[in-house]
Amino acid sequence: MLNKKYLLPSAYLAPSSYYALLINYPNSIIEQYEYFTKQTIRNRCSIDSANGPLILSIPKVRKSSSKTLMKDIQICYTEPWQKVHWNAIKSSYNSSPFFEYYMDEFSIIYHDKEKYLLDLNIKAHQLILKFLQIENSGNLSTKYIRESECKDLRKNLFKINQEIKYDQVFSTKNGFEKDLSIIDLIFNLGPESNNYLKKIDISKICHISKTIVTK
């Protein structure tokens, strides 16, 4: 299992299925030299809210060309998106069992203004790994990978055809919501999140893809 690898996109607070892959296949590779694809987990995540799943998206600096490498995507701070995201997360998870335990350390993501999206994603990723008590998992690519022995999931939307329920803040009102950001799992299950991820059947991650611009 340790020798098997997946090729993954960089992600902003990725879904639980993304981390289920990394916890089982720590040698997987995170692509940084692909062209950025909008409306994907590269710069957006889904959290729970009183009205159902809520999408949080990081705005990027607009460029004349649509072909910009993931590693070169710059974050736009014209609007106070950090404040918006943090307030939405606090509103959604303030009453979750473990939010106060992780809150101070997690809020660091929204303190500094990282210039590049990849740097912010990595910063958040390392923090998530710490919360999950996982040693460093997912190595950045050193060049664009055209052909690889890895299973290529760069186009995957990380929807999972499996439902292992756990208590969520708004489950009484909205029922169980799957495919949410990993933070939903962490704020609700805390130290048990690691065990939950190991129960996810990797084969149940649907191979739903989004058209991307390749190099």
The pLDDT tens digits of the residues spanning 129-187 come to: 999 999 878 899 999 998 777 899 999 999 988 889 999 999 999 999 999 999 999 99
Output helix, strand, coil percentages for the chain, rounded to the nearest 5: 35, 15, 50
Please indicate, yes or no, whether the overall pTM of this predicted structure exceeds 0.75: yes
Cα–Cα distance measured from residue 157 to residue 154, given in angstroms and rounded to the nearest whole number:
9
With beta carbons less than 8 A apart as the criterion, state whether 19 and 49 touch.
Answer: no
CB atoms within 10 A of CB 15: 23
**More confident call, 148 vs 16:** 16
Tokens at 19, concatenated:
């981390």
Q: What is the dihedral of CA 88, 90, 95, 101, to 10 degrees?
A: 140
DSSP 8-state assignment for residue 76: P
What's the pLDDT at 213? 47
Asked if residue 89 lies in contact with residue 46, where contact means CB atoms within 8 angstroms, the answer is no
Percent of the chain with pLDDT over 90: 80
C-alpha–C-alpha distance, residues 204 and 200, integer Å: 8
Contact indicator for 128, 170 with CB cutoff of 8 Å = no
